[in-house]
Amino acid sequence: MNADTPERKVVDILKQNNIDIAATLPCDRIKVLLLLIARNIRTIPLTREENGIGICAGVYLGGGRPVMVIQSTGIGNMINALCSLNLTYDIPIPVIASWRGVYKESIEAQWQLGRRLPEILAASGIKFTIIESIKEIDKLDEAIKESFSNSHPHVILVSPAVWEGYACEIPEPLEICSRSVDLEFSRSIKKPVLTRYEAIKSIVETIDDTGDIIVANLGIPSKELFEIRDRKLNFYMLGSMGLVSSIGLGLSIIQKKHVYVIDGDGSLLMNPNALISIGEYPAPNLTIIAIDNASYGSTGNQQTCTQSLIDLELLAKASGIKHTLKAHSLDELREALLLKAQFIHVIVKPVNVKCKEIPFSANEIKKRFMRALEA
């Protein structure tokens, strides 16, 4: 590949900035860039951009320097996560977005969001930089540095004009091999006896108190964990429903410590894509504990479809997660935790224990957690 192509310059800038993980989802205009990034930087392919925000937040919290490389339409899938995670906790993420809808755009579906993106980002309080041509490529370096030094997201909208006129290697189509699916699954789900509080207490009592990480889901699970045992290696989610397992994945990719994620049925059903990334990147130090009370417990126990339709363990298996277990009792849960199963489906009653509020700001939760990881 020509050494002076815009794509090469982008990869050089990423390397100069010590970027160690790139979370990507394709756009036709950056297919050559994506190929080059995959050859040079550890790449996590995404199935939905919002998950990249969770994974990259976990990577950053664990001491890494992530970047996202996506199509600008994906920003429409990320706004809540950017605001409720990155802006709330002060977590940086440079997002290189192939800016569609404006320059020589023939796809009508790109126009509406694409043209409005600068206003949408400005109104959301998200910093952004526009790069219109290769002459402005140094702005990418400045934006990456700005994101990390000020601990907030920075979107870099890169016009397709940047890549125009250079002779580039076109990616070869993949060779698709034959494959088989061997999945036999039959489980009985008993009437629940445990509560979420009892399950979380058992998790805290079973794991390594001084060495293991717990990432707890938003709402009552975080408050219950705080009430049972507050520790510096607890990361409490205050928002970003559906992203807790993605954050756990990011942490486990960059960290050696074991990461236990307390997720919920409502949250997993909001974002089952998280399981697909975990299936694709099986980290030996990640355990997802799906506490299934068949309801949106934190908002008043409205029923979810795990009661009637979906088995979360099967969903995990179908997503490529191999070592899964179900737990109805404290003994079963303890055993599954000691086995460090990748996914534990815990059947509980919809009971919320009244707990005090977590007295820390998001920034305090983040700083305390990151300091504990550095120690």
Interface with ligand TPP (CB under 6 A): 80, 196, 217-221, 239, 241, 264-267, 291, 293, 295-299
B/e letters for 39-69, b = 16+ CB within 10 Å, e = fewer, are: eebbebebbbbbbbbbbbbbbbbbebbbbbb
The structure tokens listed for 355 are 């707990």
Count other C-beta atoms under 10 Å from residue 184's C-beta. Answer: 4
Give the residue with the Cβ less far from ligand TPP, 51 or 295.
Answer: 295
Cβ of residue 263: shortest distance to ligand TPP, in angstroms?
7
Amino acid at position 321, single letter: I
CA–CA separation, 292 and 306 (whole Å): 8
Q: Which residue is nearest to ligand TPP (CB)?
A: 264
Pick the closer one to ligand TPP by CB: 293 or 342: 293
> Which CB atom, from 146 or from 227, has the smaller least distance to ligand TPP?
227
Which amino acid type is present at position 98?
S
CB of 214 to ligand TPP, least distance (A): 14
Neighbours of 367 (CB within 10 A): 14
Nearest distance from residue 226's CB to ligand TPP, in Å?
A: 14
Q: How far is the CB of 364 from ligand TPP (least distance, A)?
A: 20
Those residues whose C-beta lies under 8 Å from the C-beta of residue 319, and which sit 6 or more positions away, are 272, 275, 276, 278, 279
Residue with smaller CB distance to ligand TPP, 159 or 267:
267
CB 179 to ligand TPP: min, Å: 32
Q: Give dist(CA 29, CA 307) in Å, integer.
A: 44
Name which of 129 and 298 has its Cβ closer to ligand TPP: 298
1 or 79: CB nearest ligand TPP: 79
Cβ-based nearer residue to ligand TPP, 74 or 94: 74
Shortest distance, position 265 Cβ to ligand TPP, whole Å: 4
d(CA 239, CA 50): 13
Identify whether the C-beta of residue 156 lies closer than 8 Å to the C-beta of residue 26.
Answer: no
C-beta of 212 vs 292, nearer to ligand TPP: 292
Minimum distance from CB of 293 to ligand TPP (Å)?
5
Going by C-alpha positions, the residue among 92, 68, 42, 47 that lies closest to residue 253 is 42
Closest CB 64 distance from ligand TPP, rounded Å: 26
